[in-house]
Structure 1
Amino acid sequence: MKFATTVPWLRLCCVSLLATASFLIPVRGFAQALPNNPNQAIDPNDPNILRPTAQSSSILSFDGGKRLMSEAESAVSSQNYDSAVKKLQEARLVFNQLSNFYQDLTSSFSGIDNRVADSHRRKALESAQMRDESTYRLALVYRAQNKPELAVPLLVQVIKSQNPSRELGSKAYQQLLELGFADVPFERGNFKPITPAPKK
């Protein structure tokens, strides 16, 4: 009687051992070698082609954003405004993301390593400057397309970010004047900070 109940358990154990052993034996058809160069990444569109992930070739970099702005400038020269809009929107997004990421890094390292925090702060400012430059150029393209309703909000964003006393902010305000959205001229050279009256 005991033998009859032991046989199924014995069979089950043998089957389990065989199944486990089969998983441990490597199957040559499924194994793939990893790339020897750790600086290469798999292209999601074609996983069989490896590409380097250097910063200069990445879209999420200063070079990537500047490349988009350069392509937009070429598109404007050939009056391909739709392409220019697309490239400038992408550049604006890239520089905005870079600025946000560098600001986050600045916050993370602030008080821990000020040297690192300062480096990232400078990069955040440079990224923000390039974002505002691409935003301004995008507004100009919208003006060329006779779409002031799209240009005005962008120009206001530039002024808010840059301040009207800075060159880019002043240029953006001049565009608002030309569009008729603003009606009071502002000259950057005549800028005098308003000081509160002394308290009595």
Structure 2
Amino acid sequence: MISAITVRFFRHTCLTFLPVMAAFSFLPPGNAQTPTPNLPNTPNQAQPLDPSNPNVLRPTPQNNTLLSTAAGQRLMTEASNAVASQNYTLATQKLQEAREVFNQMSNFYQELAASFSGIDNRVADSQRKKALETAQMRDDATYQLALVHRAQNRSELAVPLLVQIIRSQNPTRDLGKKAYQQLFELGFVDTPFPRTGATTTPPNTSQSNQR
């Protein structure tokens, strides 16, 4: 038999539990836990390899490095803008930096060409070509630097650079001729070159070969 005390206990428990359940049933839906949304893909997320060509490694572009033709050309552009605004101090700095970049690159390519000579002529020829191209860029930067020095009436700084260009380029090439013309206009040399109407006569090798 169930005692009266037990009946009163269950009756009290049910009366207490029912309001609590009713309160939970009327909770607003905002308090319910919602699933976390998937985060969008970020730009830094690793991208999958191309399935059609997964193992091919390509050279990394050197545009963002200091020792590159792009960096040297960027310095040349900054120097040109500085000259346009008559900021010759900044132009001198940028041209000196560009000249150093191109000169280092040319030297490195020459060393690589010498290292591969007789081992892989294809690589050696490629590096030799790059050495010539960067040497031309170096001489262009040197010529522009000489012009800036001349604009500042500092011929003592322009003359050595112009002589270096002639030695590097050869007097018969366009840049060599321009450098010599600058020396002539500065009064450092007094003989024009090339002379008007003058033609270069090659040596007569037919007679020199006769015994």
Residue 107 to residue 179, structure 1, CA distance change in 2 (3 Å):
same
In the alignment, which of 56, 61, 65 is matched to residue 68 of structure 2? 61
CA distance in 1, matches of 2:201, 2:82: 40
Residue 68 to residue 138, structure 1, CA distance change in 2 (3 Å):
same
Partner of 1:192: 200
CA contact (8 A) 1:165 1:191 kept: no
Q: Shift in Å at residue 109 of structure 1?
A: 0.7
CA distance in 2, matches of 1:73, 1:168: 18
Structure 2, unmatched stretches of 5+, are 1-44, 47-59
Q: TM-score, normalised by structure 1?
A: 0.70
**Percent pairwise identity:** 65
CA distance in 2, matches of 1:62, 1:193: 39
Residue 129 to residue 137, structure 1, CA distance change in 2 (3 Å):
same
Residue 130 to residue 190, structure 1, CA distance change in 2 (3 Å):
farther
Q: Shift in Å at residue 192 of structure 1?
A: 1.2
- Verify: 1:125 aligned to 2:132, yes or no: yes
In the alignment, which of 150, 170, 176 is matched to residue 169 of structure 1? 176
Supply the RMSD in Å over aligned alpha carbons.
Answer: 2.0
CA distance in 2, matches of 1:165, 1:104: 27
Residue 93 to residue 150, structure 1, CA distance change in 2 (3 Å):
same
CA distance in 2, matches of 1:107, 1:190: 39
Partner of 1:181: 188
Partner of 2:150: 143
Partner of 1:157: 164
Partner of 2:108: 101
The DSSP-based 3-state class of the residue aligned with 1:165 is coil
Q: TM-score, normalised by structure 2?
A: 0.67
Aligned residues: 150
CA distance in 2, matches of 1:63, 1:131: 13
Structure 2 residue identity aligned to 1:116: V
Deviations along 1:22-71, one digit per CA (max 9) or x if unpaired, are xxxxxxxxxxxxxx99xxxxxxxxxxxxxxx8400111001011110110
Partner of 2:21: none
Structure 1, unmatched stretches of 5+, are 1-35, 38-52
